[in-house]
Each structure stands twice: as C-alpha cells, then as structure tokens.
C-alpha cells in the first residue's frame, strides 16, 4: 500500500483545523503507533499506519453526522487508490470507526492493529501534549479554563484525561501512559496552587 499517498490525502484534509485534530496530531499518533507496534511482531504495520493516518477523517467532532457515509466512502476510495485490498480497506475503516473515546461503550472489539492505533491516539490526549491540546480545544470552543460548573476545560481532565491510563489496551501503551499520567497530576497540583483553587 502506498502510505505516502494516504499521508498526502490526510495532510490536505486536516490542513485547516484549529481544534487539536490538525495534521501534527495525526503524525504523533502514527509515530506512537509505530513505537507500540515495534513490540508486536504479528501486527500489520501497513494497516496500523494507514488507520493512524485516517483515524480522525470521519471524527464526529469534525464532520456532520449526515456526511458520515460519504466520508467513509471517500476514505475507502483513497485506500483503493493507494493499492489497498478490499479486506484491508474494511479492516482500516473498522478501526477508524471503533476507536473513539466518546463512543467507547458502543465500540466493536478491536483487532490487535486497532488496539495499537487506539492506544496511540489516547496517548496523544494525555501528558504535556494532552494538556496543551485540551486548553487549545477549550479556547477554540470559547470555554473558560476553570470555575464554570463542569463546562470549563479543567473538568475535561476528570471526564477523560485522567481515565485514559486505565483504558490502555497494550502493555507498552500502558507503560507510556503511566509517565504522562503522572505528569498531568503534577501539572494539576501546580495549577490548583497557582490559581488558589481547592484540589478536586
């Protein structure tokens, strides 16, 4: 499969994003996925890289629900144009549609490749980069940083970021998450202190 072709499509698609789903996120997820996959010799690295590159194209935060099927068809077209088989396209699209944190109760169970891409995506939601993305996203949505009754950015740490470590699929992913989790706890304790807030 011609991954460069897929990468160019994903780069174009994400070029105008200011919500933390820009192409640099996609690149970090791909790199995290390659790092995790290096511990799993049975994992299909082409499927993993392609799914990492395409994982946010059909994200519900970026597209309208009514456009979902059209976007999935467009992605299938890209995979075929890149030389991917029907089976590869099905596998990649299944991963992309079942790794989201917000739909975690409804997701199908994932293949090894899917578990690796999901871990790679989740790693980018935590640690220093996760903190930066969370505040960037909150700013783009016009949210307050704190003290706004659950609508503020700080609440997002408790609704998602601090839960992620225990949701990792792979052993190596869990190890990588531990360090980032610890750093977020440290950040929060300084944040509360500097803003004279009570620790939640």
Residues at the site binding Ni ion, with contacts judged by CB under 5 A: 56, 121
Cβ-based nearer residue to Ni ion, 25 or 181: 25
What is the spatial distance between Cα 167 and Cα 174, in angstroms, rounded to a whole number?
Answer: 8
Q: How many whole angstroms from its chain centre is CA 149?
A: 26
Cβ-based nearer residue to Ni ion, 163 or 191: 163
Nearest to 26 by CA among 121, 92, 133: 121
Cβ-based nearer residue to Ni ion, 7 or 121: 121
Nearest to 127 by CA among 171, 172, 70, 185: 185
Q: Report, in Å, the least distance between residue 172 CB and Ni ion.
A: 19
Nearest to 119 by CA among 82, 83, 164, 162: 164
Q: Report, in Å, the least distance between residue 131 CB and Ni ion.
A: 16
Cβ-based nearer residue to Ni ion, 80 or 160: 160
Cβ-based nearer residue to Ni ion, 7 or 56: 56
What is the spatial distance between Cα 152 and Cα 89, in angstroms, rounded to a whole number?
Answer: 39
Token pair 């629900």 is at which residue?
A: 65
Q: Report, in Å, the least distance between residue 44 CB and Ni ion.
A: 20
Q: Report, in Å, the least distance between residue 153 CB and Ni ion.
A: 18
What is the spatial distance between Cα 26 and Cα 166, in angstroms, rounded to a whole number?
Answer: 23
Nearest to 57 by CA among 81, 29, 83: 29
Token pair 């994982």 is at which residue?
A: 55
Q: Report, in Å, the least distance between residue 148 CB and Ni ion.
A: 25
């Amino acid at each position: 499969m011609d991954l460069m072709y897929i990468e160019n499509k994903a780069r174009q698609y994400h070029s105008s994003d200011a919500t933390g789903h820009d192409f640099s996120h996609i690149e970090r997820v791909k790199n995290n996925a390659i790092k995790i996959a290096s511990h799993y010799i049975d994992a299909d690295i082409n499927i993993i890289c392609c799914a990492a590159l395409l994982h946010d194209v059909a994200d519900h935060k970026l597209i309208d629900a009514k456009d979902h099927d059209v976007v999935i068809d467009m992605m299938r077209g890209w995979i075929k144009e890149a030389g991917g088989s029907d089976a590869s396209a099905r596998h990649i699209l299944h991963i992309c549609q079942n790794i989201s944190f917000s739909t975690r109760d409804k997701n199908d169970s994932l293949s090894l490749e899917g578990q690796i891409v999901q871990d790679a995506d989740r790693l980018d939601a935590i640690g220093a980069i996760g903190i930066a993305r969370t505040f960037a996203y909150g700013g783009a949505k016009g949210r307050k940083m704190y003290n706004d009754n659950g609508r503020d950015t700080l609440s997002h740490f408790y609704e998602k970021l601090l839960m992620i470590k225990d949701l990792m699929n792979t052993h190596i992913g869990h190890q990588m998450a531990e360090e980032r989790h610890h750093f977020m706890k440290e950040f929060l304790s300084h944040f509360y202190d500097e803003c004279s807030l009570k620790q939640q």
